Amino acid sequence: MKIVIIGAGLSGLTAALALQKYLPPKLPSNDPLEIKIYDESETKAPGTVEYSWRDHSDIHRQQKAEQESGNKKKNQGAAISLQQNAFKSLREIDPDLANRVHASGLPCKGFTWKSRGDWLLGREDLEACLISRPVIVGILMEALCERGVRVVYRSVREVECREGVKPVVRFLGEDDEEEVADLVVGADGIRSVVRKSVFGDREGVRPVYLYVVMFPCSSDSPPLLFGPGTNHHHYSGNCAVGGVLDLPKSTPLPETYFADPRITFIHGPTGTFGYGGLSQTSPNKIIFFSFYDSDLPARGSKPDPQQVTEALRKRHQGWADPMIAQCLAQTDAIDTVYPIFYMPDLPSWGRDGCVLVGDAAHAMTPATGQGGSQAIEDGLTLALLLRTFIEVREGDHETAIRDIVPGLHAIRAEHVYAIKRAGLAIKEPARPWGWLTTLAVYGFYFVMTKVKLIKGLFGEPVYPAHLFDVRGEVERYVDARSR
């Protein structure tokens, strides 16, 4: 049985690790198990690249080696937060792997909300781990390499999926180059080629544009606002800029921060500023971000780094939290822009041997804090579901694959869509705020944090996302189908 995974992000790598663990090397039919992962490369010539990123210094060494060799992997983003449910799934796959991921980030106790004058509005307790996205991707890739599975960097042009035949993967720029698989897993993100192959490019199955994110410019990340072929529908009016910084060793995050580490959000009339530590061993490593209101940028336009950076400094000039001034002083220029999208609710997550996971199926807004965690849960659910159906079908993997495509959607969709809707419901008034609106927003955060605290004291689960039981849900679904 050949399984081809398109995309080497969190969902694709987790799916590969879980499939490698739960499926036998040989099926009862004596068919060997083969797992292949393809990911998009920024190089014109396809090749195989292995990453073994252990910490931030390794990332910088890898990037330098890529520049010298010309074989460059795509940008993996800045940082993400993983919550308890993500680590529960990782521990299910490999407890040592979960520990490595946890040790490579900064465990936080929750969130802190403050005013621009540095007045405390409230705190919310929620265990989360801030981690550099390239670091966690590197850890997962290293775990796969240890198990004999490697990522091949080739761009996929399309996947042909037709009823009654196995799906066919076709590669970009290679004449008649194709690969037949028993199962194709579309883990290729918001601009999923697999999703487009399954559903087409019609309204209702395309990503919805929300806002843009900008990061400090780097030599290997050219400015990009709207890439070719991107569809933009509903603009929220918000933009975000930010990045990862190395603060001077003389002025790292204060020791008091590490005594009670939290992701900090500071609200004001002109925007919201946030920051958090990224490493347990490097107190000068942080991520920062600034949300603000903006008109929709023109498609194809490129930001002026100096203007964007000056606007960032002007927006938060005079705000009282000393960490803001440090971040603004350390930021030289911002020019790399990433549009942020979310996916509408899809009627299914695949057909005819193709199945979608992660952002390809249900990209959600950053407000949920659950994008990465849900991607990891998807990968584990897929593997457990396939393993269970193969057992129930007595080794008939073709029937098992037909069962898992609707099964994954039935198990996961309602849960994931509820989280996505909760994120879309989080909105603030249009800026700039007057003094009355500012006081109202401050009052909202003050009351919200107290209400959640009271609910927690009475035992009401505030974060139902953490309660999802992957193994239990798979067993319940398969039992119901087998009756």
Mean pLDDT in the chain? 83
pLDDT in tens, 299-327: 566 767 788 888 889 999 999 999 999 88
pLDDT in tens, 350-398: 999 999 999 999 998 888 889 999 999 999 999 999 999 999 988 889 9
pLDDT in tens, 93-127: 999 999 999 999 999 999 999 999 999 999 998 89
Top-confidence range, 213-222, 275-284, 445-454, 471-480: 471-480
Q: Is the peptide bond before 28 cis (omega within 30 degrees of 0)?
A: no
What is the distance between the alpha carbons of residues 200 and 124, in angstroms, rounded to a whole number?
Answer: 42
User: Which residue ranges does the chain devote to CATH 3.30.9?
Assistant: 208-342
**What is the layout of strands, in order, in the sheet containing 168-171?**
156-160, 168-171, 178-180
pLDDT(240) > 70: yes
How buried is residue 215: exposed, middle or buried, by Cβ count under 10 Å (0-12/13-18/19+)? buried
- Residue whose token pair is 């057992």: 391
**Lowest mean pLDDT, pick from 143-157, 418-432, 468-482:** 418-432
Smallest CA-to-CA distance from 132 within 265, 286, 274 is with 286
What's 2-106+132-207+345-427+459-482's CATH class? alpha beta
SS3 state at 151: strand
What is the distance between the alpha carbons of residues 80 and 131, in angstroms, rounded to a whole number?
Answer: 6
User: Which residue ranges does the chain devote to CATH 3.50.50.60?
Assistant: 2-106+132-207+345-427+459-482
pLDDT in tens, 54-99: 344 444 444 444 444 444 444 445 788 999 999 999 999 999 999 9
Task: Give the mean model confidence (pLDDT) for residues 13-39.
Answer: 91
**Lowest mean pLDDT, pick from 121-130, 280-289, 354-363, 443-452:** 280-289
**Lowest mean pLDDT, pick from 5-14, 318-327, 340-349:** 340-349
What do you get for the CA distance between the two ends of the chain, in Å? 27
DSSP state of 161: -
pLDDT value, residue 414: 95
pLDDT(463) > 80: no
Structure tokens at 170: 């076709």
- Its CATH architecture, for the domain 208-342, is 2-Layer Sandwich (3.30)
SS3 state at 363: coil
